[in-house]
Amino acid sequence: MSDLDNKQKRRLPPKKLPPETMISKTWMVWLVIAMLTIGLLMWKTENTAGPETVNMQQVLDLVEAGNVTKGTIQYDLALGPTAATITGTVQAEAAFPNGSTTFRTQGRVTEATAEVLQRSKVFTEVASETFVRALVYNVLPFMLVIGLVYFLFVRQMRSTGRSALNFGKSRAKLLTRDRDRITFADVAGCDEAKEEVSEVVEFLRDPKKFQKMGGRIPKGMLMVGPPGTGKTLLAKAVAGEADVPFFSISGSDFVEMFVGVGASRVRDMFEQGRKNAPCLIFIDEIDAVGRQRGAGLGGGNDEREQTLNSLLVEMDGFDTTEGVIIIAATNRPDVLDSALLRPGRFDRQIYVDLPDINGREQILRVHARKISLADNVDLQVIARGTPGLSGAELANLLNEAALLAARRNRKKVEMVDVEDAREKVQFGRERRRLMDDEEKKLTAYHEAGHALVQAVLDDGHMPVHKVTIIPRGRSLGSTMFIPKKDILTHAMKRMLNQIAMGLGGRIAEELVMGDISSGAAGDIKQITKIARHMVCDWGMSPLGPISFGDNQDTVFLGRDITRSEHVSEETARKIDAEIHRIIDEQHTRARQIIEQKREALDKIAQALLQYETIEGRHVLEILEHGEIRSPVVPVPPPKLDDKGGKKGPEKTASPEPLCGGAPAPTPA
């Protein structure tokens, strides 16, 4: 059979089971429940030792002999006025041959018989059993058992609208066009990516335009980028612009505990797409099912590989003329299988990067539509002060500003609310932890050392924004920097300045306090990381432009668990010596700056002890004029408890690091 015949058979709609099939399966379930109930009844009847059946004369003999200890007389009006059922218990010595000590008889009770039974004073009359009472005692327990079985099995199998045979059905969700429609106007900060996907929109609107030229639209597009950059939103915008059905599914939805379910769901998803063509199928976080086969610790997983194989076959088998376009998103393209990325499956990779300053402003304007902003809020200034933030983080920033304004009982969001929200998102929330005078002085000189060195060495690229000794996040103090523009490359001079600035806090502690603390732990880690990147990765040392070391990322863990060093012991010693040299030179450089500007250091620290928070312009005023000339916005004092005293310091399990609030830029 040819491949064409196979494709035609694959495109045929799946055969639907007639309704009688599901009805017969339901009756089979009920039949099994009924058989289990009857079997339980029979087993109970056969295995339960019942009373001995006797006649009325035998009962009278037992009564006259005094062997009956107690008994009951229950008249049955349905059989007649004198018909009754007599039950009783005899003494152990008078037990019946089968070992039973109870008896039972049915018959007519004459006046003479009733007189004998009443004279014995061991029999009591009970109310006659009605039909309802018999139903409650005999039928209701079994109905409860049947209901429990139905709930545990049938309802569980049909939960969330799926029967027991629907495990292999696709979990793709169809977005409503009218309610959930998103267009390109709702997407900002990724103009290049929108241009890439606009071809798909044109194809879905007018496919003949491309077919006349002999062109073939890409079968699939893979969107790659950091988290929160708008990959999912861009895919929804493509469907909204083209006005076609949009199926959304996550890569983890294909993974199931049952074998073969993932592959079945892949096939069903593509069948749904063909029925609703033209349409878009969006697979979010495709790295959950598309990871490289046969890799990772412990080898490959058979079920996951079966799902991936089914996805590869389906993507290679369907034709783009059907109008089904596959869009996937991931932030880990390095772990995807190479067969998934080849042309014919995912023909095009679209990189959705973090937004630049213009993109951040556009994103802020999109999210600001639903927020009541005051006239003094300048979104351009906010965009300039938020480098490296994604679209999701910018949306969270405006939301935090709105919540903060609501707590302050404002009618609109002011600029100060946005600034506070930005500092909270970037540097952490303020924690009013009261410190003693010694710790407060130590923190003040530590942050003053950072601010002084950065203010002296800065070339206008990353000025000091704010210095505070109010705890934020995991630090007891913060020195905040805001770059003037987005950081795309790392210059050698600026990296050396970053190392010198990171050492400024430790040097200030040593010169003033005569001792060093653990507060510089975060600074030491950061400067060591920068120095190692300069030597091993960036070629910024006398060793030359050579890359030393090769990180091997495991596919499943996604992080460095091994680092193979392709260097000799002699070269390794040279690398360590170069790292030490860079840090030692910048330590000497920063120490000279602080010793020369010792008076400015003391004034910055005193200002921090007085105001707790000062702006970057105040640091520059101290360096130029020897004093603060512009006004300082006072910080609200700590809250008091009910007795009017100050709250004591919070207890922590470990000392907090005193590192600067804005670390050096993350090396590329």
| Tokens matching residue 98 | 């089968």
Cα 417 to Cα 34: distance, rounded to the nearest angstrom: 68
Q: Are 542 and 534 in contact (CB under 8 A)?
A: no
Q: What CA dihedral angle connects 519, 520, 525 and 529, to 10 degrees?
A: 150
Which residues, 6 or more positions from 237, have their beta carbon under 8 angstroms from its beta carbon?
182, 183, 184, 186, 187, 194, 197
Residue 13: pLDDT band (50, 70, 90) is: very low
Neighbouring CB atoms inside 10 A of 131's CB total: 8
Looking up tokens 């400015």 gives 600
Return the pLDDT at 499.
94
Query: Does the global pTM surpass 0.85?
Result: no
Known catalytic residues?
447
Beta-ladder partners of 281: 247, 326
SS3 at position 536: helix
pLDDT digits (tens, 9 = 90+) for 220-248: 888 898 888 888 888 888 878 877 788 88
Number of helices (H), then strands (E), belonging to the chain: the values are 23, 16
- 481 CB contacts (<8 Å, ≥6 apart)? 454, 462, 463, 464, 465, 662
Per-residue pLDDT tens digits for 96-137: 777 778 888 887 888 778 778 878 878 877 766 655 666 666
pLDDT of residue 28: 66
The count of C-alpha atoms lying within 13 angstroms of the C-alpha of 184, restricted to the half-sphere facing its C-beta, is: 13
- Any residues with CB less than 8 A from the CB of 605 and at least 6 apart, and which? 441, 444, 445, 448, 512
- The SS3 of residue 557 is coil
pLDDT at 582: 94
Calpha distance 56→123 (Å, rounded): 14
- Is 41's pLDDT higher than 90? no
Is the peptide bond prior to 278 cis by the omega test (within 30 degrees of 0)?
yes
> pLDDT digits over 160-198, tens only?
444 444 545 555 555 555 556 778 888 888 888 888 888
Tell me which long-range contacts 129-134 makes (C-beta under 8 A, separation of at least 24). Answer: 129/74, 129/76
Partnered with residue 328 across adjacent β-strands are 222, 283
